[in-house]
């Protein structure tokens, strides 16, 4: 089942670039419970009205401001969305709240494929975790910024931030072999995609093989799901569309970015009807994260 916006908002940091309900602060707000139903039904306007109603009585509510901004981003109204994120940033008190609010602002710019502004706000989050000496979270944020930049077409910035994520992640004291494999796998994954985007097919495939070798150690089985995405991505950008489709069909079919890439692959293969089907799926995404930030605007352009 596709994650609702409320699920994204309430997921634990660092998995979601939006507000996480702090532990020990009571049950989920009622307006977020109602949101689950509205978002499942695709009623963005109704969800936005619900958040605005909440903000009339609780103007400094961080969850309501972030939820309203996230819906506006999904509606393609980034400028208005950022007024809510600005309010949330101003209201944030704890490092966790500040990280969540700035991360949501970063994603707002990601919906407009603005690598530079995304990085500006992700840097703030990175600095929060740096002060806490939380190397893992620093790596997560750096990789998130890099993901937005590669999807936005700024390959040099993406390379820089992927390298930063890899290097800082490995600085974790007493790092486990599993965690070390995770950062090495992510680095090879990034290097392969960057090489493919730069037209360096042989280099890209070497990195795919290196990524597979890390997975084959068996220490990070949860990362196996990201390999078909990698192989399909490289096949697509190196022009082997039949192979790309075969791989991408084994990737996460609920990921809107994967849905868009499958749609593009069908287009390359001359199957417009199938392409449109996948673009429609991607356009209906309700997450506020890098895959949706790239996929939703792209899919809607394809359908217009």
CA-closest candidate to residue 71, choices 37, 48, 104, 42:
48
User: Does 7 score more than 80 pLDDT?
Assistant: no
Are residues 65 and 156 both part of a single domain?
A: no
pLDDT digits (tens, 9 = 90+) for 96-136: 999 999 999 999 999 999 999 999 999 999 999 999 999 99
Are residues 170 and 186 both part of a single domain?
A: no
Are residues 124 and 182 both part of a single domain?
A: no
Which of 95, 111, 127 corresponds to the end of one domain? 111
pLDDT digits (tens, 9 = 90+) for 17-76: 333 333 334 455 666 667 677 877 888 999 999 999 999 999 999 999 999 999 999 999
Are residues 198 and 220 both part of a single domain?
A: yes
User: Does 146 score more than 50 pLDDT?
Assistant: yes
Are residues 265 and 199 both part of a single domain?
A: no
CATH number for the domain harbouring residue 18 = 1.25.40.10
pLDDT digits (tens, 9 = 90+) for 165-192: 999 999 999 999 999 999 999 999 999 9
Are residues 99 and 142 both part of a single domain?
A: no
Which of 175, 196, 214 corresponds to the end of one domain? 175
pLDDT digits (tens, 9 = 90+) for 198-220: 999 999 999 999 999 999 999 99
Are residues 103 and 117 both part of a single domain?
A: no
Are residues 99 and 7 both part of a single domain?
A: yes
Q: How far is CA 40 from CA 5, 43, 240, 284, in A?
A: 9, 8, 36, 10
Which of 90, 111, 132 corresponds to the end of one domain? 111
How many domains does the chain fold into?
Answer: 4
Are residues 48 and 148 both part of a single domain?
A: no
pTM for the whole thing?
A: 0.90
Are residues 193 and 106 both part of a single domain?
A: no
Domain that residue 265 falls in: 252-304
pLDDT at position 41 = 82
Are residues 194 and 99 both part of a single domain?
A: no
Are residues 40 and 23 both part of a single domain?
A: yes
């Amino acid at each position: 089942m596709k994650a609702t916006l409320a699920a994204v908002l309430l997921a634990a940091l660092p998995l979601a670039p939006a507000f996480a309900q702090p532990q020990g602060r009571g049950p989920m707000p009622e307006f977020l419970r109602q949101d689950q139903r509205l978002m499942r039904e695709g009623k963005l306007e109704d969800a936005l009205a619900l958040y605005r109603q909440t903000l009339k009585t609780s103007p400094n509510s961080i969850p309501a401001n972030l939820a309203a901004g996230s819906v506006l981003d999904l509606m393609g109204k980034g400028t208005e969305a950022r007024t809510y994120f600005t309010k949330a940033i101003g209201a944030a008190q704890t490092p966790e709240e500040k990280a969540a609010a700035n991360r949501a602002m970063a994603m707002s710019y990601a919906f407009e494929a603005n690598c530079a502004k995304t990085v500006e706000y992700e840097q703030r989050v990175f600095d929060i975790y740096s002060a806490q000496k939380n190397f893992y979270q620093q790596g997560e944020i750096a990789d998130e910024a890099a993901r937005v930049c590669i999807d936005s077409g700024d390959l040099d910035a993406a390379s820089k931030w992927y390298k930063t994520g890899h290097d800082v992640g490995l600085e974790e004291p007493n790092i486990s072999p599993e965690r070390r494999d995770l950062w090495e796998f992510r680095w090879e994954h990034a290097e392969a995609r960057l090489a493919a985007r730069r037209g360096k097919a042989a280099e890209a495939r070497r990195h795919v093989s290196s990524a597979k070798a890390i997975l084959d150690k068996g220490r990070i089985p949860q990362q196996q799901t990201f390999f078909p995405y990698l192989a399909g991505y490289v096949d697509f950008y190196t022009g082997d569309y039949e192979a790309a489709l075969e791989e991408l069909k084994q990737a996460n079919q609920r990921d809107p970015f994967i849905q868009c890439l499958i749609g593009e692959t069908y287009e390359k293969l001359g199957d417009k009807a199938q392409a449109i089907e996948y673009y429609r799926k991607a356009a209906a995404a309700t997450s506020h994260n890098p895959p949706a930030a790239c996929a939703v605007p792209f899919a809607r352009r394809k359908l217009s």
